[in-house]
Amino acid sequence: MPIWQIALILLTVMWVLQAVGTWLQMRHYRNVMRSIEGRWTDGYLGIGNARSSLGRGVILMVVVGPDGCVRELLTMEGRSVLAKFSPLEQFRGCNLASLREHEMFNSRRGRAQALDQAIQQIEKAKSRQPGSSAALSESAA
C-alpha cells in the first residue's frame, strides 16, 4: 500500500475521532446546562469563552442570584475535546466585582476574557428584566 493511502486512512481516522470527541463534549455541555437550569430557577446565567489557536481554550459559566452573589462558577479549560467542566467552589457567595479583581482571572488572559463575556451577558439580562429576577434561561441564549 502506497504511503499516501496510509496517510489518507490515518487522516480519516483522526477526523472521525475528533468528530466523536466533539460530540461527547457537546453532550457534556448540554448536561451541565440542564443541571444548572434544574437547580436554579431564579437569577442569571452568563457564559463566556476564549478561544486559542495554540494555547488552552476556556469556557466559563457563572450563575448569579437576584442579589448579585455568585451561586455557581464552572470552568472548562483545555486543548482537547476531553476537557470537562470543573466547579470553582471558592467563589460561591462572591460578587461579580470581586471576581474581576481576583488573581485567578487576571493571571490568564483567556480566563479574564471569558469572565468579562459572562458578566456582560448577566448585565444585559439584568437590564432586560428590571422588575423580574426569573431570567436564568433567558440569559443563556
Q: Which residue bears the cell 494555547?
A: 55
Provide the pLDDT for residue 131.
55
Measured distance CA(136)–CA(106) in Å, rounded: 26
pLDDT in tens, the chain (141 residues): 899 999 999 999 999 999 998 899 899 989 998 998 888 888 899 999 988 777 778 899 999 988 888 999 999 888 777 788 888 888 888 888 888 888 777 777 788 889 999 999 998 988 887 554 444 544 444
What stretch of H or E contains 22?
Answer: helix 3-39
Measured distance CA(110)–CA(114) in Å, rounded: 6
Measured distance CA(8)–CA(90) in Å, rounded: 48
Provide the pLDDT for residue 136.
52
Provide the pLDDT for residue 99.
82
Provide the residue ranges of all domains of the chain, joining segments of one domain with +: 3-139
- For the chain, where are the E strands, in sequence order? 44-50, 57-64, 70-78, 86-87
Which of 133, 121, 126, 39 is CA-nearest to residue 87?
39
